[in-house]
Amino acid sequence: MTKLSVNINKIATIRNARGGNMPNLVQVAIDCERFGAQGITVHPRPDERHIRYSDVFELKEIVTTEFNIEGYPSKSFIDLVKAVKPDQVTLVPDPPEAITSNAGWDTKKNKDFLTKVVSEFKSLRIRTSIFVDTELINIENALDTQTDRIELYTESYAKFFEKNQQNAIKPFVDAAIKANELGLGINAGHDLSLENLKYFKENIPNLLEVSIGHALICDALYFGLENVIQMYLKQLTVH
């Protein structure tokens, strides 16, 4: 079964636009789990423009499914993760000024750095995942860092899905086969939606988890959060 982890960054963005605590981020996380989500994901950035570091500590107290913190492994991020001890940390290579994640790691170039970071987290029994594209060399070098999983960066799949589904999915199928051969767990995320999620799930062998935020929250504006979580879960139920 593929787990659905709901990224709640957009909820924090809405809250921060007006100040105060509306919508209540903690309550939304509780409700997401109550509505069926199997995990909560956050991506705190140094400028705290959406998720704040204080939010991460509050969420740790209430998340009962799986808590996934993703971000660039700066010293402040590493210190945060070590203090909170989430179930999973996802290492993303984006710089502080990036609007959203826009690339996977060059795991050959950054192998020593990533190996050191992964080792720190795994010593605390925090599952690690490295954000990568579909280049097989990056998956092979990810293995050398001793990471538990990779997270496939799915923007290109989403971008070309409507034009040609088979061409869009092929690099991801090849990447998943390689990861399976190497014994790496597979997560995925970025621009997955109600339109493209089912096809992705059907074609990626041993997909463990997807992290979805932007599209899911946009859909919730029309259909309501509870309905939308159920709609996404249905896409992950492949018969």
CA distance 123 to 117: 10
Report the length, in residues, of the chain.
239
The SS3 assignment for 39 reads strand
Report how many helices (DSSP H) and strands (DSSP E) the chain contains, helices first: 11, 8
What is the C-alpha end-to-end distance of the chain, expressed in Å? 11
Query: What is the spatial distance between Cα 187 and Cα 189, in angstroms, rounded to a whole number?
Result: 7
Which one of the listed residues 33, 66, 190, 209 is annotated catalytic? 190
Q: DSSP state, 71?
A: E
Active-site annotation holds for 214: no
Question: If we measure between CA atoms, which residue out of 84, 82, 138 comes closest to residue 114?
Answer: 138
Q: Can 70 be counted among the known catalytic residues?
A: yes
Q: Is the dihedral of CA 151, 157, 158, 161 positive or negative?
A: negative
The yes-or-no answer on residue 43 being catalytic is yes
Q: What is the dihedral of CA 152, 215, 72, 186, to 10 degrees?
A: -20
Instruction: Give the whole-angstrom CA distance, residue 10 versus residue 19.
Output: 14
The whole-angstrom separation of Cα 14 and Cα 58 is 18
Catalytic residue among 33, 43, 50, 66: 43
Q: Check 33, 50, 66, 70 and give the catalytic one.
A: 70
Cβ(134)–Cβ(175) under 8 Å? yes
CA distance 108 to 55: 34
Q: Among all residues, which ones are annotated catalytic?
A: 43, 70, 190
